[in-house]
């Protein structure tokens, strides 16, 4: 788990291989904790990848491997090639057909367990501008994957001001086909004059009326 605030700092992690409810260093839980400080900043996202865990900062992609050798329970390393790459937040990472896709300041990238690849050449500036958040926290930027269509969806409620209304703009919705590498764009989700929404589990509320794809 990633820890934030307090004396541990927002770049701290803690794990336990015995008691999932106890994350206290030492003792019978055999827990371990530490900080990921090879690159600056806080831990922004994480995802299970096979037997490992991949963690992101705004700059820096790390691999966590379970060792349980002596005092080393988990070993974290900065993945070569990931020093300047990152993810904006927890929703900005998704696994699709054994590949991880993520979105951050450097654009939309993939990671296959060994190599990073940029997937947004020719559209990067447009994509980053469209996904920019007015609060700079990217709370509402999300990636989803639909295995039926093989599409990664890239969502943002642009112009967000509070939990129910947006002051300006409309929902921005891009799709990336993981098989063909082709991009799609949709900005036609609308419900009335003061609110915008898309039907997508975990992304938006479901509204009674909307303009469908």
- Each residue's pLDDT, cut to its tens digit, for the chain (213 residues) gives 788 877 778 999 887 655 445 555 555 455 677 889 999 999 999 999 999 999 999 999 999 998 877 767 788 999 999 999 999 998 999 999 999 999 999 999 999 999 999 999 999 998 888 887 665 667 678 899 999 999 999 987 654 444 444 444 445 678 999 999 999 987 654 443 333 333 343 344 434 444 444
Where does the chain show beta strands of DSSP type E?
2-3, 12-15, 32-35, 45-49, 52-56, 61-69, 72-78, 93-96, 99-104, 107-111, 116-118, 142-146, 151-157, 171-177, 183-186
Phi and psi at 91, nearest 5°, equal -85, 0
Phi and psi at 67, nearest 5°, equal -110, -50
Neighbour tally for 169: CB within 10 Å: 15
Task: State the Cα–Cα distance between residues 162 and 170, nearest whole angstrom.
Answer: 14
Q: Helix (H, G, I), strand (E, B), or coil: what is residue 48?
A: strand
Task: State the Cα–Cα distance between residues 10 and 2, nearest whole angstrom.
Answer: 8
Asked if 160 contacts 135 with a C-beta cutoff of 8 angstroms, the reply is yes
Task: State the Cα–Cα distance between residues 49 and 177, nearest whole angstrom.
Answer: 21
* Closest by CA position to 212, among listed 182, 171, 183: 171
Phi and psi at 206, nearest 5°, equal -95, 120
Predicted local distance difference test score (pLDDT) of residue 199: 36
* Closest by CA position to 16, among listed 8, 27, 6: 27
Predicted local distance difference test score (pLDDT) of residue 45: 94
- Dihedral sign, CA of 13, 140, 136, 49? positive
């Amino acid at each position: 788990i990633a820890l934030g605030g307090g004396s541990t700092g927002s770049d701290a992690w803690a794990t336990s291989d015995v008691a999932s409810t106890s994350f206290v260093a030492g003792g019978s839980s055999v827990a371990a904790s530490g900080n990921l400080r090879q690159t600056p900043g806080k831990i922004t996202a994480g995802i299970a990848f096979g037997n490992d865990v991949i963690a992101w900062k705004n700059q820096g992609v790390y691999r966590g491997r379970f060792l349980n050798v002596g005092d080393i329970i988990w070993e974290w390393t900065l993945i070569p090639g990931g020093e300047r790459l990152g993810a904006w937040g927890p929703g900005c990472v998704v696994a699709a057909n054994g590949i991880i896709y993520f979105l951050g300041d450097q654009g939309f990238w993939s990671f296959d367990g060994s190599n990073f690849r940029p997937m947004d050449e020719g559209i990067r500036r447009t994509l980053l501008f469209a996904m920019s958040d007015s609060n700079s926290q990217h709370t509402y930027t999300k990636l989803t994957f639909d295995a039926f269509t093989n599409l990664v969806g890239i969502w943002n409620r642009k112009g967000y001001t509070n939990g129910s209304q947006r002051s300006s703009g409309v929902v921005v919705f891009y799709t990336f086909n993981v098989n063909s590498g082709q991009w799609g764009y949709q900005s036609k989700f609308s419900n009335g004059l003061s609110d915008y929404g898309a039907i997508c589990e975990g992304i938006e509320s479901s509204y009674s009326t909307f303009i469908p794809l």
